[in-house]
Amino acid sequence: MNKTLKGKVTRLENNVLQKQELGTTKICTCGFPEPEQTLLEQARKLSEMNLSYDDATAQQLTIIEKAGKTLNFRIFDLFTMYLEGLLCQGDPIAKVVLHERFLWFIQQLREELRQQLEVSEIERNTPEDCEVDVVDEYFRKSPDVFTEKSYAELSTEITLQCMKAGREPESE
């Protein structure tokens, strides 16, 4: 593309497209089945009430939990459909590898978040005059995340589960 045309395209993009900002992405639920739309709307209204976990009723907690699971499913479905189509292009081995790596990423992210929550709790409960760096000690004992070893362990675990499932007699 020549320089003049590239400049015109850039100016057009800058004038037509809005600058993308984190946190502005929205999922339109209008295409979801009606019961899911109703559930998500109820959960949205509950979230606007800013209830604490202790103040919410069992029914309210159930609605919020079910809505969270529904959104998790929809986001996972959208993510995997996009990636499978874009990256795997019908290759079943690539699809297995994609799902394995995605599972590994989610597990490692969950572990990292769990560790950060524990560190926050440690920092909150550690007196300021404590001479020992309790957080440093915590991280020395906790497993590292996003390592080649953690991926290899998950891959081995999945392979063993698949092999075991293949050897089990079929149930009738």
Question: What per-residue confidence (pLDDT) applies to 169?
Answer: 56
pLDDT reading at 63 higher than 90: yes
Query: Could you tell me if 85 and 101 lie in one domain?
Result: no
Query: Could you tell me if 108 and 135 lie in one domain?
Result: yes
pLDDT band, residue 48 (cuts 50/70/90):
very high
Question: What per-residue confidence (pLDDT) applies to 17?
Answer: 72
Q: What is the pLDDT of residues 2-44, one digit of tens each?
A: 788 888 888 877 777 777 788 888 888 888 999 999 999 999 9
Q: Does the residue 19 lie in any domain?
A: no
- Report which of residues 84 and 170 the model is more confident about: 84
Query: Could you tell me if 107 and 155 lie in one domain?
Result: yes
Enter the pTM of the model. Answer: 0.58
Q: Does the residue 4 lie in any domain?
A: no
Query: Could you tell me if 140 and 83 lie in one domain?
Result: no
Percent of the chain whose predicted confidence (pLDDT) is above 70: 97
* Tally of structural domains, the chain: 2
**Average pLDDT taken over every residue of the chain:** 87
Stretch 137-154: mean pLDDT, rounded?
92
Q: What is the pLDDT of residues 81-116, one digit of tens each?
A: 888 888 898 899 999 898 899 899 999 999 999 999
Query: Could you tell me if 97 and 154 lie in one domain?
Result: yes
Question: What per-residue confidence (pLDDT) applies to 170?
Answer: 54
> H/E/C letters for each residue in the chain?
CCHHHHHHHHHHHHHHCCCCCCCCCCCCHHHCCHHHHHHHHHHHHHHHCCCCCCCCCHHHHHHHHHHHHHHHHHHHHHHHHHHHHHHHCCCHHHHHHHHHHHHHHHHHHHHHHHHHHHHHHHHHHCCCCCCCCHHHHHHHHCCCCCCHHHHHHHHHHHHHHHHHHHHCCCCC
Query: Could you tell me if 47 and 97 lie in one domain?
Result: no
Stretch 147-155: mean pLDDT, rounded?
94
End position of a domain, from candidates 39, 56, 89: 89
What is the domain range of residue 62? 31-89
pLDDT reading at 171 higher than 60: no
pLDDT reading at 117 higher than 80: yes
